[in-house]
Structure 1
Amino acid sequence: MTQVKLLGFWYSPFSHRVEWALKIKGVNYEYIEEDRDNKSLLLLQSNPIHKKVPVLIHNGKTICESMIILEYIDETFEGPSILPKDPYDRALARFWAKFLDNKVGAVVNTFLRKGEEQEKGKEEVCEMLKVLDNELKDNKKYFVGDKFGYADMAANLMGLWMGVFEEASGVVLATNEEFPNFCAWRDEYINCSQVKKYLPSRIDELLVFYQDRVRAQAPTSATLQK
């Protein structure tokens, strides 16, 4: 009998990416909530190099890093495809997913740090928003083609969490005046029925959690973990 376990944090966009994929594929799994300040022996043994979530455990084998886990899920389980079938579209999806994932540090520094780190993060996030605003012009709904998939899952940090960070920190960069295409996409992303049912339901708790992190200035790199 197939056994699937997911180690994660309820407030982590990276854990939610993996839950998203499992649900879309219709995979039955056991979710195990980890404590960032008191990580379980199972997590430390499953990801001894980075000691981070999410970790997928499939029949005793462990897979780490959210985007790698998404590809594993897509290749291993039956159900709707996450990566496009067309090789070119698949390459595009991987490109945008990598682009978005590489900006995690800048987003964290902008909204959950202070001083020089925050200022550098603001510059990088604004440059990213310019790129995304151009890419999402002409009322573009998805990053690749006309189907929600891999790159859109990677975009959940920008689609939902960035708005939470902005509200929690009081630092607002994504305005309709400066980035109208991105803001229109974000509104559509959050309210799209295909997306909405897989986003975390505890939005109020998510905001309170990150407000506490901002007050504490979140000095460690373990705040989000991917």
Structure 2
Amino acid sequence: MASAHVEEIPPPSLDATAEQPPLFDGTTRLYTAYICPYAHRVWIIRNYKGLQLKIKLVPLDLHNRPDWYKEKVYPLNKVPSLEHNGKVIGESLDLLKYIDSNFEGPSLLPADSAKREYAEELLSYSETFNGAIIYSLRGDTAKEAGAQFDYLENALGKFDGPFLLGEISQVDIAYIPFVERFHIFLLEALKIDITEGRPKLVAWIEEFNKIEAYKQTKVDPKLVVEIYTMRFLGRFDLQRIYLAYKCHFLKQFIVGQIAKTIFKYVVVAIMSSNFQLQKLSPPISTSVDIRLSNLYNCIKSNHCPNLRV
């Protein structure tokens, strides 16, 4: 059984302007990012074991992360990482095991040897699962991603109980952040319901949604759709570019480092083979619409003489 519910207001994400928290001052810190499914794994186990007061959340803005994180905290510059006992360690699956073994709270690995062996098999397969679903977005997503969710459905039937090893474990926590995001994105963007015809998967998700420690960590569905659509389907809404253009700190489009970053994402999106041009609606600024449309046309045709944006 999970530890008593602890109310927590997640702190705001730190960006490049934020000061570095003290390092190795005796505080245990989990460096995370709310949108990242790998970091989500460790946030869930922290909460489930009731460690909200023992492990401090330090969320980072991945699009504008502080330089000090790479330079002084974690040279790999990835999340999650855990500052504990004078060292910083990373890799989400390793951190699941580390926190489960080194902190108080309910154990999330069964004593039964057969279940432990199966747990290692499922943990090892988790990256194959995630990668195969992402790769499926280039082809027959319903068929190829469906095969992975069938794998999970079958795995959920191996032991009695709603979870992968019967009772909730590290394995469930390793999979749920990705399933949560894929469930939202595939249904919204491609109208693929991963739960259809998979009753065990439905029950698994329902059981997770009863757990307060997990419910506190759930990602904003709109943000998932926006980021995954941009990243995996190459769609970019010109309305959003226009809003960025109008922001007071982006007054000069394609001038300055931040604006150049926006421009880079626009170009990357357009170069995607699945890019879909979204017209401004309503056309707040015809000039911006025309300039961005020209950018789209010249990049897609690989012919950009004297391009002015």
TM-score range (shorter-chain normalised) is 0.7 to 0.9
Contact 1:143 1:152 in 2 (8 A): yes
Amino acid of the structure 2 residue aligned with 1:144: L
Moved more, 197-206 or 163-172: 197-206
Query: 2:92: which partner in 1?
Result: 66
Per-residue CA deviation, residues 58-87 of structure 1 (Å, 9 max, x unaligned), is 133111111100100011111100222233
Figure out how many residues of one structure are paired with residues of the other and give that number. 210
> Is 1:157 paired with 2:192?
no
**Within 5 Å, which residues of 2 pair with 1:1-226?**
2-27=26-51, 28-45=54-71, 46-49=73-76, 51-111=77-137, 118-119=138-139, 124-137=144-157, 140-145=161-166, 147-170=167-190, 172=192, 174=194, 176=196, 179-193=197-211, 196-200=214-218, 202-213=220-231, 214=233, 215-216=235-236
Could you tell me how far apart the structure 2 residues matched to 1:186 and 1:180 are? 10
Q: TM-score, normalised by structure 2?
A: 0.58
Could you tell me how far apart the structure 2 residues matched to 1:154 and 1:52 are? 17
- Tell me the SS of whatever aligns to 2:88: strand
Could you tell me how far apart the structure 2 residues matched to 1:22 and 1:101 are? 21
Query: 2:296: which partner in 1?
Result: none
Could you tell me how far apart the structure 2 residues matched to 1:41 and 1:60 are? 21
- Tell me the SS of whatever aligns to 1:160: helix
Higher RCO (Cα < 8 Å, 6 or more apart) = 1
Which stretches in structure 2 are left out of the alignment for 5+ residues?
1-24, 237-268, 273-309
- Over the aligned positions, Cα root-mean-square deviation in angstroms equals 3.1
- Tell me the SS of whatever aligns to 2:83: strand
Which of the two has higher C-alpha Rg? 2
Could you tell me how far apart the structure 2 residues matched to 1:11 and 1:126 are? 24
Per-residue CA deviation, residues 126-171 of structure 1 (Å, 9 max, x unaligned), is 32222222223498511013x1111110121354111122134225
How much does 1:119 deviate?
1.3
Amino acid of the structure 2 residue aligned with 1:48: P
- Tell me the SS of whatever aligns to 1:155: helix
How much does 1:120 deviate?
7.1
Amino acid of the structure 2 residue aligned with 1:32: V
How much does 1:96 deviate?
1.2
Amino acid of the structure 1 residue aligned with 2:34: W
Could you tell me how far apart the structure 2 residues matched to 1:185 and 1:40 are? 40
Contact 2:183 2:193 in 1 (8 A): no
Contact 2:82 2:89 in 1 (8 A): yes
Kindly, what percent of the aligned residue pairs are identical? 25
Which stretches in structure 1 are left out of the alignment for 5+ residues?
112-117, 221-226
Per-residue CA deviation, residues 168-222 of structure 1 (Å, 9 max, x unaligned), is 422516252xx423542354244333665344163444444444544245999xx
Contact 2:42 2:92 in 1 (8 A): yes
Q: TM-score, normalised by structure 1?
A: 0.76
- Tell me the SS of whatever aligns to 1:62: strand
